Structure 1
């Protein structure tokens, strides 16, 4: 099991004239048999991440894995801090100049250890992944990146659709797949929230109402 700490909550705020967005992603630390960072924010946040790690008695060289849920710039900005780590960016897995083939495209999870795995959840981009981890309390926590934008997009799909979706049908199905197994969700641009029976039913209804 892992000690799961959301170091920073993500956010996204559209300007009044809708010409720009102020945004950053959630950044999560998993401490356990492997130390893992999920999504490393923008390139201007390196010192913030280093300071937050020190509060948990860690330095960048103590991180074993970096998982970027997808390759957008607000999720990969400080990957280069973690030079001892294996990097998973969407469907790509690498360490230094070595790339490892893994069949995410065939739906296969990547197992980091007995309590942490990375599963393919395409939709927002076609190579999105989600990290599933069992907490010290025995609960399943899903770090989803932009599969879920924020809590409000559960009842209002317009939020995640307008945030950008390369395949809305896949995204909708993968959202349901995640809430069927998760107790908590750390979304890409909002605070961690608990998965309730009502949330699960809402996603079931949305998939049922989908034209395909």
Structure 2
């Protein structure tokens, strides 16, 4: 798959202003067969999300998989738009009112969508976080949700810890795992970045 098939529709953000916290997630489109959207932002983003998809020549019914890296409201807000899709929300996999028992993410099983895309468990920020791994000719792209908050948290643990962590131990372990295998990371609340070599295991 070409890297051009991976489109970050919106870069996420998170910030404190005047004692209040503001955040929205990164939203990613994978233009392949099947067509996939990852993290659909807040419920107030419906119009801009549909417009962004239309600019890519994609319509709601074209989306066959909706993947929410976890269940927080800024990552699932527009899931309802995609009624033709299988929905993966954290460890929950469903289509309409049917829920599937496989894969068993709790036992580290993976959900393989096609030869280039799979969903793997990466708990930490919540205990049911998942990451989407996308093989491209330019390297492995990991769409991680809030396992990584933004590029700055590579050097400052306070960035991801202040965003909340249900298990600091698991989050550290899974951050390490993704850093070891990924060439690029799309974090939950920042722009995609290339993984610096200094963070790879020797």
- TM-score tier after normalising by the smaller chain length: over 0.9
SS state of the match for residue 32, structure 1? coil
* 1:38-117 superposed matches below 5 A: 38-101=38-101, 102-117=103-118
8 Å contact 2:122–2:130 — kept in the other structure?
Answer: yes
8 Å contact 2:180–2:199 — kept in the other structure?
Answer: no
Q: Distance in 2 between matches of 1:24 and 1:179?
A: 23
Q: Which runs of 5+ in 2 are unaligned?
A: none
TM-score, L = length of structure 1: 0.91
SS state of the match for residue 131, structure 2? strand
Of residues 11, 19, 24, the one that matches 2:13 is: 11
Question: What's the CA shift for 1:100?
Answer: 0.4
Q: Deviations over 1:16-37 (max 9, x none)?
A: 33xx211100000001121100
Q: Distance in 2 between matches of 1:50 and 1:141?
A: 24
Q: Distance in 1 between matches of 2:48 and 2:142?
A: 23
Deviates more, 1:138-147 or 1:120-129: 138-147
Q: What is the root-mean-square deviation in Å for CA atoms of aligned residues?
A: 1.1
Shift >4 Å, 4+ stretches: none
In the alignment of these two chains, the number of paired residues is 199
Q: Distance in 2 between matches of 1:187 and 1:66?
A: 17
Question: What's the CA shift for 1:145?
Answer: 0.2
Q: Which runs of 5+ in 1 are unaligned?
A: 205-212
Q: Distance in 2 between matches of 1:28 and 1:99?
A: 24
Q: Distance in 2 between matches of 1:22 and 1:171?
A: 22
TM-score, L = length of structure 2: 0.96
- Residue in structure 2 matched with residue 123 of structure 1 by the alignment: 124
